[in-house]
Structure 1
Amino acid sequence: MNRIKGKLLCGMALSCLLAACATTPATVDPAAKLDAVVAEADAAQKAGQTDKAVKLLKDATGAFPADKAPWVRLAQIKFDGENYGEAINYALEGLQRDPKDKVANSIVAVGGLRLSTKALNELRTQNDLNGNVRSEAQGLAKILRESLGETVLLPANPPRPKVIRPVVKKGAVPTSKPSTPAEPASGEANPFGSLQ
């Protein structure tokens, strides 16, 4: 009887082992899984479901902590939505994983310039652009000019487009007025004008 029980237990153990091997899932390539998540987020973004895309990518940052792709994609979504602060933070996370990533570096540079321009405009409207802030802004403007190889960042008086006036025969009445370029609104003045 013990012998039968032993064989029975051994057979059951072998069956369980074989069943466990048969149901073990095949290993999934992590890169393929991440690509699928990023593709799903891109599809959600194109469908106008930005919140869903952001959630998918944030989940991917936890599931794939060493990969830059979800961070850089999050940065691009936030940049496109003109949320430059968050875009820069996500881009910096991407740069920690790949310091040479061109998209992340571009987002940090351009997003930073846009935030700086907005802040300088605010300071200028409040007449608070003086002292240390002014000298630091002038120093940054100089670095930008040197980096871009330009003597000025923005021309003080940008060239105006030529106005094409229709030829009107003597005695004829013109049917429409020629268009002239509109003057920039007072809030659209060159934020770096005093720094040139």
Structure 2
Amino acid sequence: MRKSLTAVLIGAATLAGCATDSPLQRGDKAGLQTLESMLADADRAAAAGQHDKSQAVLKAAAASYPAEKAPWLQMAQTRFDRANYSEAIVQAQEVLQRDPADKQAHSIIAVSGLRLSTRSLAELSQQSNLGGSVRSEAQELARMLRTTLGEDVLVPVAGANKAPRKVAPPIKLPVPRSAPNPSTAADPFGALK
């Protein structure tokens, strides 16, 4: 009797365990509400200045919903806003694994990469170590960026006045000379009558 009671209890526990739904096993609607609440919690933590807590909540959301791009995108944007560009790039790449056409992730990667490059080039130029193939490659990349963006200067100096654009002087056409008409010499409006 004791063995059958134990078997019944084990069977009931097994069935009870199978009947419990995790958010991933329930319908998408219930799961998305939970994801949305996690994202809202992360937003509230960030607004309160608790950035570590916000990142922890977003990481938990990404672990609970591995197919969703939203937690990764929010982590990438937060890292970008806090000027942590290398981590922003890594997290934006996670977004692109889930949605290769996400424009915000592409933008985060592009701008973060440019800011990291600008920072590194500035440090190299201060050390006067930018030379050879690195220098020529940097110049070529800068030329390509200027052409792509349609700008003469990639990073304008703060407070510097823009140089005035050179404008060609107006062309002066010669005025045709004709002999004055004696009837209109005294009256300039005589020719209009």
**What's the TM-score bracket when you normalise by the shorter of the two chains?**
0.5 to 0.7
Structure 1 partner of 2:137: 136
Q: Which residue in 2 is equivalent to 1:93?
A: 94
User: 2:21 & 2:90 partners in 1: Cα distance?
Assistant: 37
**Residues 47-69 of structure 1: CA deviation (Å, up to 9, x unaligned):** 11111110011111111111111
Distance 1:33 1:140, change over 3 A: same
Residue in structure 1 matched with residue 31 of structure 2 by the alignment: 30
Indicate the larger mover: 118-127 or 25-34.
25-34
Residue pairs, 1:97-136, within 5 angstroms: 97-136=98-137
Structure 1 residue 153: Cα displacement: 2.0
Give the Å deviation of 1:77: 1.1
In 2, Cα distance between equivalents of 1:77 and 1:130? 35
**Coordinate RMSD, CA, aligned:** 2.9
Q: Which runs of 5+ in 2 are unaligned?
A: 163-193
The 1-side partners of 2:160 and 2:99 are apart by 39
Question: Which has the higher relative contact order, 1 or 2, with Cα contacts under 8 A spaced 6 or more apart?
Answer: 1
Per-residue deviation, 1:104: 1.2
Larger-Rg structure: 2
Structure 1 residue runs without a partner (length 5+): 1-8, 161-196
TM-score with structure 1 setting the length: 0.65
Residue in 2 aligned with 1:62?
63
* CA drift at 1:152: 3.3
Q: Distance in 2 between matches of 1:79 and 1:67?
A: 20
Q: Please report how far the alpha carbon of residue 121 of structure 1 lies from its aligned counterpart in structure 2 after TM superposition.
A: 0.6
Q: TM-score, normalised by structure 2?
A: 0.66
- The 1-side partners of 2:96 and 2:45 are apart by 25
Distance (whole Å) between structure 2 residues aligned to residue 155 and residue 45 of structure 1: 32
For this pair of structures, how many residues does the alignment match? 147
Q: Percent of aligned pairs with the same residue? A: 51
The equivalent of 1:159 in structure 2 is 161
Give the aligned partner of residue 39 of structure 1: 40
**Corresponding residue number in structure 2 for 1:79:** 80
Q: Distance in 1 between matches of 2:108 and 2:100?
A: 13
How far, CA to CA, are the matches of 2:86 and 2:111 in structure 1?
A: 11
**What is the CA distance between 1:43 and its match in structure 2?**
0.9
Question: CA-to-partner distance for each residue in 1:138-173, whole Å, 9 max, x for gaps?
Answer: 12112211221223324589416xxxxxxxxxxxxx
Aligned letter for 1:159?
Answer: N
